[in-house]
Amino acid sequence: MAYVDGYVLPVPAKRLKDYQKVANKAGKVWKEHGALDYWECAGDDLNVKWGKPFPKLMKTKPGETVIFAFVIYKNKKDRDAVNKKVMADPRLQAMCDPKDPIFDPKKMCYGGFKEIVHH
């Protein structure tokens, strides 16, 4: 059964194009190292009437949007191997400018999920 890493993070709307460029490159790195699929989605309809809206959950500031992203792997063991390669890949490090971060990584939510239903 597949394994999924999921991410939710706030990004300043004015930096969304910058984030998109980095995410596009990162997705290519993940897939080169064995990820089956890589998705990055920007908030569009976040003022929902039921449940807890992502902006409230993420405690976004005015001018921030929410990114919902996920990476799909064959299984958890494969995910661990792929992520180890990705984190060692110098291209990933080159995308991150510590002096000008696109988002605050301390506000990112992340976790690994095992597949329980797939249609």
User: Residue 95: its pLDDT value, please?
Assistant: 81
Q: Give the closest residue to 30 by CA, choosing from 97, 75, 91, 76.
A: 91
Ramachandran category for residue 63: left, alpha or beta (phi over 0 → left; psi -120 to 50 → alpha): left
Whether 31 maps to a domain, the answer reads: yes
Whether 100 maps to a domain, the answer reads: yes
Note if the pTM is more than 0.75: yes
- Residue 39 phi/psi, 5° resolution? -125, 135
Cβ distance 16 to 60 under 8 Å?
no
Whether 119 maps to a domain, the answer reads: no
Residue-wise pLDDT tens digits, 61-99: 999 999 999 999 999 999 999 999 999 999 988 887 778
Residue 72 is part of a domain; what is its CATH number?
A: 3.30.70.100
User: Residue 52: its pLDDT value, please?
Assistant: 92
Tokens of 2: 């597949």
Residue-wise pLDDT tens digits, 1-56: 899 999 999 999 999 999 999 999 999 999 999 999 999 999 999 989 899 999 99
Q: Look at the chain and report how many structural domains it folds into.
A: 1
Per-residue pLDDT for 111 more than 90? yes
Identify the domain containing residue 89 by its residue range: 3-114
- Residue 81 phi/psi, 5° resolution? -70, -45
User: Residue 101: its pLDDT value, please?
Assistant: 85
